[in-house]
Amino acid sequence: MTQHLAAPAAPTTETRTDWWRDAVIYQVYPRSFADGNGDGMGDLEGIRSRLPYLRDLGVDAVWLSPFYASPQADAGYDVADYRAIDPMFGSLLDADAVIRDAHELGLRIIVDLVPNHSSDRHDWFRRALSEGPGSPLRERYHFRPGKGVDGELPPNDWESIFGGPAWTRVPDGEWYLHLFAPEQPDFNWEHPAVQDEFRSILRFWLDMGVDGFRVDVAHGLVKQAGLPDIGRHDQLKLLGNDTMPFFDQDGVHEIYRSWRRVLEEYAGNELGPGGPSSEGRRRETGGRILVAEAWTPTVERAAQYVRPDEMHQAFNFQYLGTSWDAAELREVIDVSLAAMDPVGAPATWVLSNHDVTRHATRLANPPGLGTQLRTPGDRKLGLRRARAATLLMLALPGSAYLYQGEELGLPDVTDLPDEVRQDPSFLRAEGQDGFRDGCRVPIPWTTEGSSYGFGTGGSWLPQPEGWGELSVQAQTGDPGSTLELYRSALAVRRAEPGLGAGGAVEWLDAPDGVLAFAREGFVCTVNTTAETVRIPAPGRVLLGSEEAEVSDGTVHLPADTTVWWAV
């Protein structure tokens, strides 16, 4: 049985402009969260209906993956209109309702922004194609003549992240750059019209009331001058996050300084009472934020995106990719905290998202297999480690990101038939593995039904048989369930003054394979080994991912278990 503290604390009544420093932010992948109209595809109406669930879970903010008008060549990350909602998700009125309802419930809304590229159906790109070479609109993208006698070769040797050349030739003979799918042409961020347009897009959504933006491919906007060749050997390093001529160029930082100035024109949103302990108060909590999805060679390089006049947070992908190993975890925690301290930014922690194998599956497999797996591994072991990893993550100083369904302990669906997969990189050679669909299967809400409560019909990706056993309905009220563990963990995190924001941990002596660290009035112990370990009990148990026996001042810390202590 999970040990837990059930009583949540009342939210602070103080005005806060830095709520993001210790926020727990929940990622909603709109296609797969909740279907409000029964067509098998998640939508804004479905999200709106489930906001009370997120409030009760105990998160502070909701990050919505793209819902913009899009031909869906890359699940909405190919945007045709940044100021419109795709009909499959609803309308601007639906988006307004989600934002308003979230604020009434005490939740903030962060929306995805995709500035590196548009859809090839974007009005600018369609006009650039129809007007031909010399069109001023072609200057807003990267159009180039080809190499070779007749221009039949791409302008350089860059390869798409999804595999194959990063260039596509159009009928008039010119080529355009796309670091991802051909349907996603890259913007030319040296052009002032592109910069003006995105500042306008920011204001559009800020006027709608959003609390911030998660910036997709934040490291990719600026390309090295001249678009030089890379060389085959160096290009193979790309997915290892080495700096490349089209990633992590210094010029991106001035873009984000200009965006920060836009956000600072806006006051914070007024939030409603939130949970039942807030006594009906309303409070202005301020702080619109920018969050960078920046794949960089080092954590130190990522810290440059969160200097005081740039973004507020950057995803910590180095932490996400760390093995379930005490020494490795301690090293990445130390490096992360040390890198963020000089720029005054909080560290962020994340274990799963829409692009990687869920950690309940990833941790079930041997280390070194990467973040995309094709094997389910040991399901029981994976869940046990995932629960322990979550408590470790939530005990660290800074902000944490949760991905929808991880609070249910959902595994990746590794056996989807090829014919139902929709990841655009799945059928493209030499790119990403293309198995991201496994973490995008719609989540189960009820024990029964055609889509386990996802909607009244089916689901756009098939859910596994027996998915209802992992549903919200099945786990609610079960003290040993993963859902109740998350609810308890977020309640304790809010109640304990030593958790949340902060810049350091105090490491304590511990046996090999065990992590132990202290924060104000709090200790976290983590056993990453396959054996029970005996250590002195640091205090009173607050919460455990598994039951830990305490007697005569000693705790028997089970294998793959994290325990929180009040001291």
Catalytic residue among 123, 152, 196, 265: 265
CA pair distance 470, 473, nearest whole angstrom: 8
283: which 2 tokens? 């409070």
> Helices 192-208 and 252-263, interaxial angle, to 10°?
30
95: which 2 tokens? 């988006």
| DSSP for residue 277 | G
Cβ–Cβ contacts within 10 Å for residue 15, how many? 11
81: part of which helix (H) or strand (E)? strand 81-85
Q: Hey, is 489 helix, strand or coil?
A: helix
Catalytic residue among 35, 94, 112, 216: 216
Compute the half-sphere exposure of residue 516: CA atoms within 13 Å on the CB side of its CA: 16
The answer to whether 224 and 302 have CB atoms below 8 angstroms apart is no
Taking the CA atoms of 436, 476, 324 and 560 in sequence, report the sign of the dihedral they define: negative
Question: Which has the closest alpha carbon to 231: 153, 151, 180, 159?
Answer: 159
The answer to whether 282 and 11 have CB atoms below 8 angstroms apart is no
Termini Cα distance of the chain? 22
64: part of which helix (H) or strand (E)? strand 61-64
Taking the CA atoms of 31, 32, 37 and 43 in sequence, report the sign of the dihedral they define: negative
DSSP for 100-159? Answer: HHHHHTT-EEEEEE--SB--TTSHHHHHHHHH-TT-GGGGGBTEE--BSTTS-B-SS--B
Residue 265 designated active-site: yes
Taking the CA atoms of 253, 258, 264 and 269 in sequence, report the sign of the dihedral they define: negative
275: which 2 tokens? 């949970």
Residue 418 designated active-site: no
Give me Rg for the CA atoms of the chain: 23
CA pair distance 208, 364, nearest whole angstrom: 42
Question: Which has the closest alpha carbon to 32: 60, 58, 67?
Answer: 67
98: which 2 tokens? 């989600």
539: which 2 tokens? 């205090």
82: part of which helix (H) or strand (E)? strand 81-85
Taking the CA atoms of 112, 115, 120 and 121 in sequence, report the sign of the dihedral they define: positive
207: which 2 tokens? 């006027």
Enumerate the active-site residues: 216, 265
